Amino acid sequence: MTGGSLGQRTASYGSLQLLNNNGIVGKPTSSIFTRKPSPKMLLAGSRDREKQFLLLVFCKFLGRRRVAMLLLVGLPLLIFTLGSYVLDKGSLVPYVSQAADDPAALMISRVKDTQKDRDSSTEKDGNKTQRPSPPAAASLIKRVVPLHHPCENFAFPPPPPPGLRRPGPRPCPVCYVPVEQAIASMPSSPSESPVLQNLTYIHDENPVKTETHGGSDFGGYPSLKQRNGSYEIKESMTVHCGFVKGSRPGRQSGFDLDEFDLTELEQFHDVIVASAIFGNYDLIQQPKKISQAARQNVPFYMFVDEETEAYMKNSSILDSNKRVGLWRIIVVRNIPYNDSRRNGKVPKLLLHRIFPNVRYSIWIDGKLQLVVDPYQILERFLWRENATFAISRHYRRFDVFVEAEANKAAGKYDNASIDYQVEFYKNEGLTPYSEAKLPITSDVPEGCVIIREHIPITNLFSCLWFNEVDRFTARDQLSFSTVRDKIMAKVNWTVNMFLDCERRNFVIQAYHRDLLVHKVSPGAATMHHQLVLPGTSLAGKNPGKRSSKRGKGEKRSGSKRHRKVAAGNKDSSSF
């Protein structure tokens, strides 16, 4: 066709003749249309007429509806047959489909193709030089970063409408990748440690207390001069970090471990999960939703003292392999402190000393139940964020001075010790939290979960944080920001302080043992069914408690604050 005219097909040649403006067939002006048809064109026209005639007879014989049904059935069969033929002839189609969906697979295929080209070019050139074999697929996957992360468009749901009653701290949605993808996201090499490359620890069989305040034999009594010098970050450093006695941590050092356990703890692991119960203060919580890969490759270690071990044996929950479910029980002897809170800080902050050959660790307090796979937690809070240390911020308080007053009001520690510690930090330059500290979002962590990579700078941070706990109060929330800010002032390093509601997404807080005893005691049997309701207020209804009737201005006795005060007055407090 030429121009914008429509054509009409004739009955003889099957060619187009042009219509003029009046709709009358006219002779075409182009030389193409004036040419006589060739014998091939005549033959093609006759074949078209035969096909049209046969189709017309076929439709009249069967009917239009039957023809349509035959087409609907025949076309899918034809497509299926052709697809099967293509798949049988080679594996290209499914492999490309998989590679398109999986950037890691696509990258592996490209690496393999590149290696094949290199090998073929080497053979052609006659070069017999030995080339290193390509890395395994698993190691290649570790190095691949997906072009589009499945959680890149994830956003928190909108807040509830204003005016509704505040429900209290609750978990919020967290976007985790599948376990397989989380494992593939694990870095193949350690993260870079800024400035500090070699960290060693002070050993002293006869530590001497040279100052009147703070310190312990286990911690080595570091002086104020040594304390201040430990914040001068250099390429090689030697600092106090507990375990100052003995040939190695756990062997005649205080916090002693059995030789069989020491051998096991020296083994290499990419990831471990650790917790502790001292003073028989908590009931052991079994992790849930743990993948088969984590069950096979991630050890779960629970440190207990001899008192807790005796309870486990009497309750017949500790088997002959020193296991309670997923937890491998490690019994600690010759504990260094009389306060269970301080004993709990040893594995919490010094895991890198107990496990010298571990890359990543997740610490959870003994009262917590893990309900998300460890690989998914590490991917979400470390690897995705390019972080080496992660801890949640407090759900309500973000200022150390406010946290100190809350600790005193709740009876977490004696007021004089808290005041001394805060005043000491204030004289060093501690100020109330303000927007001037941004992008730091809080000075107060919720320290029941710690996620970290064991590299020199994070090990130093853990050591210095422990030294503050050893010198001052056991309330590690008060000393966290001081250690963090002093290190950040010297090197380019920071802590990933994620939301507390995100922490509540992957751990569930259980009741302490003393609260459970009250709930199942005689006379409180009607309350027993409420144990499965986290956050339910039961105080004020237990036997021995004051009447639930309240006068004017009296606060509700069952508030979470008052429950924590009761627990905080015990010698064996939570970690």
Contact 568, 515 (CB under 8 A): no
Confidence at 281, pLDDT banded by 50, 70, 90: confident
DSSP state of 542: S
Distances (CA, A) of 274 to 303, 354, 393: 8, 11, 20
> What's the mean pLDDT in 200-216?
92
DSSP calls for 3-50: TT--EEE-TTT--EEEB-TTS-B----SHHHHSPPPHHHHHHHHHHHH
Structure token digits, residue 479: 């000393």
pLDDT at residue 100 tops 50: no
d(CA 463, CA 242): 8
pLDDT given for residue 536 in this prediction: 36
Which is it for strands 269-277 and 358-364: parallel, antiparallel or unpaired? parallel
Residue 304, classed as helix, strand or coil, is strand
pLDDT over 90 for what percent of the chain? 56
> What's the mean pLDDT in 502-512?
88
Confidence at 180, pLDDT banded by 50, 70, 90: very high
Highest mean pLDDT, choosing among 13-22, 81-90, 294-303, 510-519: 294-303
> What's the mean pLDDT in 286-290?
97
pLDDT given for residue 177 in this prediction: 97
Residue 289, classed as helix, strand or coil, is coil
pLDDT over 70 for what percent of the chain? 62
Q: Residue 324: which of 298, 288, 285 has the closest Cα? A: 285
pLDDT given for residue 157 in this prediction: 78
| Lowest mean per-residue pLDDT among 12-16, 216-220, 248-252 | 12-16
Q: Residue 483: which of 293, 233, 272 has the closest Cα? A: 233
pLDDT given for residue 46 in this prediction: 57
Q: Residue 243: which of 256, 253, 251 has the closest Cα? A: 253
Q: The tokens 């599948």 sit on which residue?
A: 178
Q: What is the pLDDT of residues 130-158, one digit of tens each?
A: 333 333 333 333 444 456 789 988 988 77
d(CA 2, CA 15): 13
Which backbone phi and psi does 272 adopt, to 5 degrees? -135, 160
pLDDT at residue 114 tops 50: no
> What's the mean pLDDT in 236-249?
96
Helix 415-428, helix 476-488: angle, nearest 10: 10
pLDDT at residue 219 tops 60: yes
Which backbone phi and psi does 17 adopt, to 5 degrees? -115, 145
How buried is 525 (Cβ within 10 angstroms: 0-12 exposed, 13-18 middle, 19+ buried)? exposed
d(CA 496, CA 213): 32
pTM above 0.95, yes or no: no
- The torsion angle over the Cα atoms of residues 134, 135, 141 and 145, rounded to 10 degrees, is -70
Residue type, 473: T
d(CA 171, CA 507): 9
The three-point CA angle 231-236-242 to 5° equals: 60
Confidence at 270, pLDDT banded by 50, 70, 90: very high
pLDDT given for residue 401 in this prediction: 98
pLDDT given for residue 290 in this prediction: 98
pLDDT at residue 567 tops 70: no
Q: What is the pLDDT of residues 396-432, one digit of tens each?
A: 999 999 999 999 999 999 999 999 999 999 999 999 9
Q: What is the three-state SS of 204-264?
A: CCCCCCCCCCCCCCCCCCCCHHHHHHCCCCCCEEEECCCCCCCCECCECCCCECCHHHHHH
> What's the mean pLDDT in 44-67?
59
Q: What is the pLDDT of residues 381-396, one digit of tens each?
A: 999 999 999 999 999 9
Average pLDDT, the chain: 76
pLDDT given for residue 512 in this prediction: 56
List the chain domain ranges.
Answer: 198-516
Q: What is the pLDDT of residues 342-383, one digit of tens each?
A: 999 999 999 999 999 999 999 999 999 999 999 999 999 999
Contact 358, 268 (CB under 8 A): yes
